[in-house]
Chains A and B, each alone.
Chain A
Amino acid sequence: MLFCEQCQAHVEGSLQRCPLCQSPLTGQPEENAYPVLPPAKSSLRLSLRLAALATVAVAAVCSAVNYSLPQTGWWSVFVIAALASTWLVLGVTVRKRGSPMKAVVWQLGVISAVTFLWDLCTGFAGWSLDFVLPIFIPCAQLAAFIVVKALSLRPAEYLFCLTVCILVGFVPLIPLLCGALGVVYPTVICVSISLIALAGLLLFKGSALKDDAVRRLHL
């Protein structure tokens, strides 16, 4: 064992200097009680950093070119908006990668909102409400169902997220009832699928859903 003359204390491990006063130690070093750990890795991966840098570069170059050639219209705004949308969807997926059910719900929310905003900001032709949302929502419901089966999740792990996915399927009813749609078939199909899914959920997992609500809502 090592010894520090200054502090009159024994020191275990393989240090060269006293941990208190940094004086040189005498005696025989021993094995350490704590492992020597490799330095912690950075949480942000290199590929993600490179992608972020490339995004900033593309946005900067497009803005510069567009500014120099104003007669071509303000197309760089669309490029930047497209990049931002991509990063938003990607970011949500990366953040929620530990829990695939949450990832599905977040993607459903973010992609729906981004699609609607694009439609709204590009003259509101109505393509998002007529086609994209009513087709995308049942796809997300199917994806959630596949995740449940593939990972054989327990009811407590999926019920809340699955219920949210199914309930979102009724949102397209709002434009339908307001008469804001040009083409109604996709929306009608989406709502019907959601209704069947909801009935199935309540009939087969009704009591589990109630238990889940009790846990989540306890005061």
Chain B
Amino acid sequence: MSDRNYLPWWRLDNAAKIFPSTSSAHDSKVFRFFCELEEAVVPAALQSALDRTMERFPIYRCVLRRGWFWYYLEDSPLPAAARPEELPPCFPIYPSLRRSLLFRVLYYRRRISLEIYHVLSDGAGALDFLRDLVYEYLRIRHPEAGFPAGSVLAPGVSERQKEADSFQKYYEKPARRFGLSPSAYQICGERLPKNQLAILEGRIPTRELLACARSRGVTLTELLTAVLLRAIYDGMRVRDRKKTVAVTIPVNLRNYFPSFSSRNFFAIFHVSYDFSKNPDCLEAVLASVKKDFQEKLTAEQLKAQMNGLCALEHNFPARIAPLPLKDIVLRCANRMAAHAATASFSNVGRVSMPEGAEKYIRQFGVLTCAGCLQACAVSFENSFVITFASPFRSRETERVFFQELSRLGLDITLTTNMKDEVEQNAVL
């Protein structure tokens, strides 16, 4: 930065506005994308690749600051460093003692991980960053492969387009406001000590999974959502079974409204199923889930939801409320909104890398930290990786989920960050 006095800054986008007020040690609002290579990561090459990628994402070079009315992002000279993985997964980034960039790049053995604070970006934006980083890394490590220079991103996307707040672009004042969603069943149970996160990854061959979904006339996300609903139902106490089970599904709005933003641009909807009034067989749940997807996943519905949320932000009394008051109100709103969902399932979709890169990459994966059970999925070539991140000691939901997939004839490979239960008990 040549002019010391000029300082770029950005308002938070609509979705990001709630995250700083509601981040805590057990719900850090940090999510992680990882890329597992076929060989061990070389730190120096990763650092060089990171330096090159940072040039293409100027908005990632920023810190979060408190204003009097809103938080905002401010350009920062802090260096972005690739570090060995020494913290627990999705460790809080904000608030922290010292001001830091809102993401970290980590490596451990064959894995490159990108952990991002949700204020900065959503899954699609973060994935763009990681793809670019991995591509630069492969270019440095494998000059013999002859990867062409340049970015993996869509060509001709300007910096302005990348840092655009697409919520503002597509906002229209809505006619009516949204009410609260009905409350859903909440998974209860003993939590892991010290805000730990139990991670369980399941790798499934994409083609087998697609064939399995298509043979039932549903999409892959619909199939997995139905299996997850049934897995949650299996762990419910009989007296809770009259409650609805609801799964939050985030939607990438870039698929519905043209945008190249590398910041937040997503909406959520709930898929719910009442097991007390409907049969609990997979076919019945699948039919209901399919209907929910068809009804709720339309441009009009998503637009209405987006407008409802943006209207809150444009409400004048809300805007002039001082930030400490907003913090309290948003924390309460977040707690109430959390009651609408039992768990969350986010399918980021297929990751594409330039041709030739696939032989160096084993798999991509994604996981996110939250107060409740979270499942995230991403596919690359023939490996579909679904990752559960749970704050609970019990892993019964995951067990039933994967055992059901196994019964459907799918080949599953599991990976976890937890040590054996027996050893763990001995340590604690």
Contacts and interface: CB of A to CB of B under 8 A. Distances in A.
Interface residues of B, number: 52
A13 B419 CA distance: 10
A71 interface: no
B5 A208 contact: yes
Interface string A1-38: 10000011111110111111110000000010111110
B399 A34 contact: no
B55 interface: no
B419 A36 contact: yes
Contacts of B98: 98-99
B422 to A, nearest CB: 7
Contacts of B67: 215-218
A155 B420 contact: no
B173 interface: no
Contacts of A1: 413
B7 A156 contact: yes
Contacts of A9: 202, 402, 406, 412-414
A211 interface: yes
A139 to B, nearest CB: 26
A: contact size bracket:
35 or more
A20 B402 contact: yes
Contacts of A211: 5, 7
Contacts of B11: 218
B403 A20 contact: yes
B99 A98 contact: yes
A133 B309 CA distance: 49
B315 to A, nearest CB: 11
B290 interface: no
Interface string B308-337: 000000000001100000000000000000
Interface stretch (B42-50, B85-93, B155-163, B239-247): B85-93
Contact of B413 (A10, A31, A217): A10
The SS class assigned to the A binding surface is loop
Nearest to A212: B7
A192 interface: no
A219 B395 CA distance: 45
Interface in B91-115: 96-99, 108-109, 111
A8 B97 contact: no
Contacts of A7: 399, 402-403, 406, 412
A97 B72 CA distance: 22
B9 A34 contact: no
Given A9-B406, A9-B414, A207-B5, A218 B72 contact: yes
Contacts of B70: 218-219
A150 interface: no
B72 A16 contact: no
Given A17-B422, A211-B7, A10 B89 contact: no
A40 B86 contact: no
B68 A20 contact: no
B32 to A, nearest CB: 11
B411 to A, nearest CB: 8
Which of B5, B7, B399, B414 gathers most chain A CB within 10 Å? Answer: B414
A166 to B, nearest CB: 19
A154 interface: yes
Contacts of A208: 5
Contact of B72 (A8, A99, A155, A215): A215
A216 B413 contact: no
Contacts of B72: 215, 218
A39 B98 CA distance: 22
B168 interface: no
A123 B399 CA distance: 71
Interface of A: 1, 7-13, 15-22, 31, 33-37, 40, 97-99, 154-156, 207-208, 211, 215-219
Q: Which 6 A-B pairs have the closest CB atoms?
A: A34-B417, A98-B97, A10-B413, A20-B399, A98-B98, A9-B412
Given A11-B414, A16-B420, A219-B69, 13 more contacts: A8-B406, A10-B414, A13-B415, A19-B395, A21-B399, A33-B108, A33-B417, A34-B85, A34-B417, A99-B98, A154-B7, A156-B7, A211-B7
